[in-house]
Amino acid sequence: MTAALTAQINSTAIDLNRENPFTSPIVADRVRLRLGVIDAEIASSIEGLADEYAELYRGYDNHDGGANITVQVERGRSRYTMGRRFVISGSEGRMFSVRRIEEVLPHVEWALNWEVVRRMDGYLQLHAGVMEREGVGVAFPAAPGSGKTTLCAGLLARGWRFLSDEFALIDNEGMIHPYPKALCIKEGSFAVMEHLGLPMVQPRRYRKGKKGRVAYVNPRFAGDESLGRKCRLAHVVFPKYASGATPRLRTITRGETGFELAQLSFNLRKKSSVGMAMLMGALQTADCHRLASGEIDATCDLIEKTLLG
Amino acid sequence: MEPLRTKPNSKPQRRDDVTYHVIDDEALIYDPDRGATHRLNSTARFIWENCDGSASCQTIAEKLTHVWNASPQQARIDVVGAVGSMVDNGLLSVGSDR
């Protein structure tokens, strides 16, 4: 009947107690990106990184300053071995230090997410992919490794609008807001992206911790109307991928859904009772399902047939 | 032997600093102190809503019997079990007439 709320973010990679390694102003290239409701700024003194970012988010709007979140990248040293590192910092100082250049961009992306968790308190934040079609907003909440990103990519390739593959940002009126970062694709799903016809941006062979080799898909490449707008939550679908599984959707109660979503929130503990009220508000008109997902085309067929009618 | 806190004459009292949300037949309780969420099915929800500090477990079980057409024995087991679980999770306090 009960369960304690468990944090869903692995925080072992972040050492918040360490001081910011930057003691002097950074001479840096800056990329200012409008990522849905998030205005992000990446400041980097690493040659070529700003250009790489601009390419990754080609077609996105820029903003003129006053970013909600800022991430900085600089050369530095490991605090343990004194070896050369690329140091990635956010509003509370040093977040990651990585040794290889191909690790930098994925960790900047990760740092942006951490900054959203830290600073965008106005929203209840759920770990979920969010897609929209014809005004129907669908959230796919799940722990890492459940197939959220691949599912979002599959629907993106079919003309659905993309809000996020990692964050559902819910306001106090129950609306979901977009945070359309590039989709981070693990090597095991490269062939699926090729099958879907979604080009991967690969100026480098990126690496991201335990995920290993990754590549990115710019959702704008799926079409001019591929980025989603604020929408109401119409469906919640908990995906669980299993290789070779026959796709199945099973209806579940809103109570079961709310209970599980509470455990998949990044900031419910911080928002406390207000956050719980926001979650309940968003669920009031949502239909809820559990999805056993398998082959991407069959899974997307089932979703469209069931949710869009 | 039943724990003292869940005797039939125990009068469970809901905490008033948790948030309670009814959603269809079920309910969710959020405990801000522990950062914990609790899901109540329809039976547990009925029991929770009757834990006002004035009704004993026996009285709640009798209500449950009438409303849900449950056997008295089953109702008593459900109430004692649910109240015990809610006490263990810090959602209820209990008192008694004796």
CATH number for the domain spanning A246: value is 3.40.50
Above 60 in pLDDT, residue A4?
no
Global ipTM: 0.90
* Judgement on whether residues A48 and A67 belong to the same structural domain of the protein: yes
Total number of domains in chain A: 2
Which pTM was predicted? 0.88
Residue A18 within a domain? no
Residue A65 predicted with pLDDT over 90: no
pLDDT of residue B96: 61
The count of structural domains within chain B is 1
Chain B positions in Cβ-Cβ contact with residue A263 (cut-off 8 Å): 37
Do both A136 and A165 map to the same domain? yes
A259 contacts in B (CB within 8 Å)?
28, 37, 39
Instruction: Flag whether B58 is in a domain.
Output: yes
Number of alpha carbons in the 13 Å side-chain half-sphere of residue B96: 10
Give the bridge partners for A162, in sequence order.
A131, A227
Q: Is residue A263 part of a domain?
A: yes
**Most A CBs within 10 Å, among B34, B37, B47, to test the A interface:** B37
Of A65, A94, A119, the last residue of a domain is A119
Same-domain check for residues A84 and A158:
no
CA distance A206 to chain B (A): 37
Radius of gyration of chain B (CA): 13
Whether residues A147 and A284 share a domain: the answer is yes
Chain A nearest-CA residue for B27: A255
Q: Say whether A255 and B89 touch across the interface (CB within 8 A).
A: no
Instruction: Please provide the DSSP assignment of A225-238 as one string.
Output: T-B---EEEEEEEE
What residue type is assigned to position B95 of the chain?
Answer: G
Residue A81 forms contact with B (CB below 8 Å): no
Residue A7 has pLDDT above 60, yes or no: no
* Residue that is written with structure tokens 């929130």 in the block: A265
Of B19, B38, B89, which is closest to A273 when you measure between CB atoms? B19
Taking only the tens place, the pLDDT of each residue in A8-51 is: 222 222 333 333 333 333 456 889 999 999 999 999 999 888 88
Nearest residue on chain B to A271, alpha-carbon basis: B32
Domain boundary among A119, A138, A155: A119
CATH classification at residue B58: 3.90.930.60
On whether residue B35 sits in a domain, the answer given is: yes
* Helix, strand or coil, per DSSP, at residue A59: coil
Mean pLDDT highest for which of A10-24, A47-61, A256-270?
A256-270
Query: For residue A34, how many other CB atoms are within 10 A of its CB?
Result: 16
For residue A77, the model assigns a pLDDT of 81
- A2 and B30: CB-CB below 8 Å? no
Note whether residue B96 is domain-resident.
no
Q: Which residues pair with A131 in a beta bridge?
A: A138, A162
**Distance (Å, whole) CA A284 – CA A154:** 27
In a domain, B11, yes or no: yes
B21 within domain boundaries: yes
User: Is the Cβ–Cβ distance between A72 and A28 less than 8 Å?
Assistant: yes
Taking residues B36-46, report their average pLDDT.
Answer: 96
User: Scanning every residue of chain A, which has its alpha carbon at the shortest distance from the alpha carbon of B23?
Assistant: A255
pLDDT of residue B91: 96
Shared-domain flag, residues A93 and A146: no
| Within a domain: A20 | no
Strand intervals (E) in chain A = 2-4, 29-35, 38-44, 69-77, 84-90, 93-98, 124-133, 136-141, 161-164, 167-170, 175-177, 183-186, 200-208, 212-217, 231-241, 248-251, 287-293
Q: Are A97 and A140 contained in the same domain? A: no
- Cross-chain residue pair A280–B23, CB shorter than 8 Å: yes
pLDDT in tens, A78-88: 777 777 899 99
Of A188, A240, A248, A250, the closest CA to residue A214 belongs to A188
Handedness of CA A101, A20, A89, A98 (dihedral sign): positive
Q: Which residues of B touch A1 (CB under 8 A)?
A: 38-41, 44, 82, 85
Q: State whether residue A219 is helix, strand or coil.
A: helix
Looking at beta carbons, which residues of chain B come within 8 Å of A252?
Answer: none
Task: Tell me how crowded residue A150 is: count the other CB atoms within 10 A of its CB.
Answer: 24
Mean pLDDT of chain B: 90
Asked if A177 and A133 sit in the same domain, the reply is yes
Q: Which domain holds residue A99?
A: 29-119
Residues of chain B with Cβ-Cβ distance to A267 below 8 Å are: none
In angstroms, the Cα distances linking A153 to A16, A161, A184, B21 are 33, 10, 10, 35
* Residue-range definition of the domain harbouring residue B75: 7-91
Residue A145 counted as domain residue: yes
Residues on chain B touching A4 (C-beta within 8 angstroms): 34-36
In a domain, A1, yes or no: no
Domain-embedded: residue B64:
yes
For the segment A168-200, what is each residue's pLDDT rounded down to a tens digit? 999 999 999 999 999 999 999 999 999 999 999
CB contact under 8 A, B28 and A259: yes
Determine whether the interchain pair B39/A273 forms a contact, defined as Cβ–Cβ distance below 8 Å: no
Q: Tell which of A119, A151, A179 closes a domain.
A: A119
